[in-house]
């Protein structure tokens, strides 16, 4: 089986997996990171999102062989070294923006990705940024509010 060295949360991690294995399975099953979730496996719901070089992408259909030396950030890697939460994480707690929270990883990743490019989004920009992410509990309005709060933190 081929070996891959992945840059995950500022650490190099080596894995030995079949080349077609999607990144999500490596993160969860091999590296035991629980941030990215399995929701559909077909890039339709956003629960598995990670940041690749700062952009939110779905990891459930992304073969490990195509990741290369890109910087991968998972939910676990958002807080700083001292454990201070990222503004988006802090805002989601502040606004209690979850019910079951299963989709939260993707929501936070999409929001961080957008704020990286647009630090001062309007509601319409936030909705657009989160459009690929599904939430079944109906916590959307709290999430929108959380992203608005995050931009001021």
Q: Which residues contact another protein (rule: CB under 8 A)?
A: 1, 17-18, 21-22, 25, 28-30, 32-42, 44-45, 47, 74-76, 79, 85, 89-90, 92-93, 96-105, 108, 126-128, 130-131, 133-142, 144
Q: How far is the CB of 52 from another protein (least distance, A)?
A: 17
Contacts 24+ apart (CB under 8 A), 88-93: 88/112, 88/115, 88/146, 88/147, 88/150, 90/150, 90/153, 91/146, 91/147, 91/149, 91/150, 91/153, 92/143, 92/146, 92/150
Choice between 16 and 120, CB closer to another protein: 16
Q: How far is the CB of 119 from another protein (least distance, A)?
A: 20
Choice between 44 and 66, CB closer to another protein: 44
Q: How far is the CB of 53 from another protein (least distance, A)?
A: 20
Helix axes 140-150, 104-117, angle to 10 degrees: 40
Choice between 18 and 53, CB closer to another protein: 18
Q: How far is the CB of 152 from another protein (least distance, A)?
A: 17
Using DSSP's 3-state secondary structure scheme, residue 3 falls into strand
Selection from 73, 59, 54 nearest residue 117 by Cα = 54
């Amino acid at each position: 089986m081929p070996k891959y060295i992945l840059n995950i949360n500022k650490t190099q991690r080596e894995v030995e997996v079949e080349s077609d294995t999607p990144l999500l399975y490596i993160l969860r099953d091999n590296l035991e990171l629980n941030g990215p979730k399995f929701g559909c496996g077909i890039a339709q719901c956003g629960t598995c999102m990670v940041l690749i070089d700062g952009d939110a992408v779905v990891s459930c259909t992304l073969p490990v062989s195509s990741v290369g030396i890109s910087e991968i950030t998972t939910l676990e890697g958002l807080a700083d070294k001292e454990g201070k939460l990222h503004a988006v994480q802090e805002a989601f707690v502040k606004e209690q923006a979850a019910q079951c929270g299963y989709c939260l990883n993707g929501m936070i990743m999409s929001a961080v990705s957008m704020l990286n490019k647009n630090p001062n989004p309007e509601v319409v920009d936030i909705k657009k940024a989160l459009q690929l992410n599904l939430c079944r509990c109906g916590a959307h309005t709290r999430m929108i509010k959380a992203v608005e709060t995050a931009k001021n933190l």
